[in-house]
A and B are shown apart, each in its own frame.
Chain A
Amino acid sequence: QVQLVESGGGVVQPGRSLRLSCAASGFTFSNYAMHWVRQAPGKGLEWVALIAYDGSNKFYADSVRGRFTISRDSSKNTLYLLLNSLRAEDTAFYYCARDHDRFCSGGNCYPGYWGQGTLVTVSS
């Protein structure tokens, strides 16, 4: 079955960086686009970033574009999110999600399976 396990969260000072990882198993990783979605404590869902199944396209929310970088390593079945120039408003649970359909490269991609999330707290 599909398994997504996030790691790398923690407490970090404003302006610093953090790298999140998502270990994927139970499916052919290289066939699926992958997402990061975040949720501030007690708030709603906010899509953060998307990488095409083959890594050819990357999309970002306006709130993180230029600060966050999504990447994938198909040899390790792992998705990454590099968070730079962190702000207090980036504090949230960060969920890794696999796209529902195979071979999505952008346009109508949507999360199908979700990990359990990792908490990032930005505080001095």
Chain B
Amino acid sequence: QSVLTQPPSASGTSGQRVAISCSGSSSNIGNNNVHWYQQLPGTAPKLLIYKNIQRPAGVPDRFSGSKSGTSASLAISGLRSEDEADYYCASWDDSLTGPVFGGGTRLTVL
């Protein structure tokens, strides 16, 4: 049982927009930044969005993040087949004194 809650799966067709939610509490998302990671099959995770809305260099602007209260969301527009991956949200938890991850969402591009 992960501290942050994500839907286990999401899907969309090429070109569509999909959103992945991440729900937490006042001890994590409600009081700290949210970050998103993309893990392509068989590879290490990669930072996709940091501090709620920031994109690292090289990440396309098709990826965007948002946060409101104790929830956050990752949106992917213009869906492509190469976006098929597992996506994880993360945030610092003040009670657990460490970062916590969501359970991950597997994105399928139909």
A47 touches B44 (CB 8 A): no
- Chain B interface, >50% SS class: strand
* Interface hit among A16-24, A56-64, A84-92: A56-64
B47 touches A111 (CB 8 A): yes
- Chain A interface, >50% SS class: strand
Q: Flag whether B98 is at the interface (Cβ < 8 A).
A: yes
Q: Mark A82-124, 1 if CB is under 8 A from B, else 0.
A: 0000000000000100001000001111111111110000000
Asked whether A95 and B45 contact (CB < 8 A) given A61-B98, A62-B96, A110-B99, the answer is yes
* Interface hit among B18-26, B32-40, B63-71, B72-80: B32-40
Complex CA distance for A9 and B104, rounded to whole angstroms: 25
Q: Flag whether B90 is at the interface (Cβ < 8 A).
A: yes
Q: Flag whether A46 is at the interface (Cβ < 8 A).
A: yes
B47 touches A50 (CB 8 A): no
Q: Flag whether A45 is at the interface (Cβ < 8 A).
A: yes
A60 touches B98 (CB 8 A): yes
Asked whether A110 and B101 contact (CB < 8 A) given A62-B96, A100-B47, A116-B44, the answer is no
Min C-beta distance of B52 to chain A, whole Å? 12
**Residue tally, chain A, CB below 8 Å to B:** 25
B99 touches A47 (CB 8 A): yes
Query: Which residues of chain A have C-beta atoms less than 8 A from B101's C-beta?
Result: 44-47
B45 touches A114 (CB 8 A): yes
Query: Which residues of chain B have C-beta atoms less than 8 A from A37's C-beta?
Result: 45
B37 touches A45 (CB 8 A): yes
Q: Flag whether A35 is at the interface (Cβ < 8 A).
A: yes
Asked whether A108 and B32 contact (CB < 8 A) given A35-B99, A44-B101, A62-B96, the answer is yes
Query: Which residues of chain A have C-beta atoms less than 8 A from B46's C-beta?
Result: 114
Chain B residue with minimal CB distance to A50? B98
Asked whether A107 and B92 contact (CB < 8 A) given A35-B99, A59-B98, the answer is yes
12 pairs from A and B in contact (CB 8 Å cutoff): A44-B88, A44-B101, A45-B90, A47-B98, A50-B99, A95-B45, A108-B32, A108-B92, A110-B99, A111-B99, A112-B47, A116-B43
Q: 10 nearest interchain CB pairs?
A: A44-B104, A114-B44, A45-B101, A108-B92, A47-B99, A59-B98, A44-B103, A110-B35, A112-B47, A116-B44
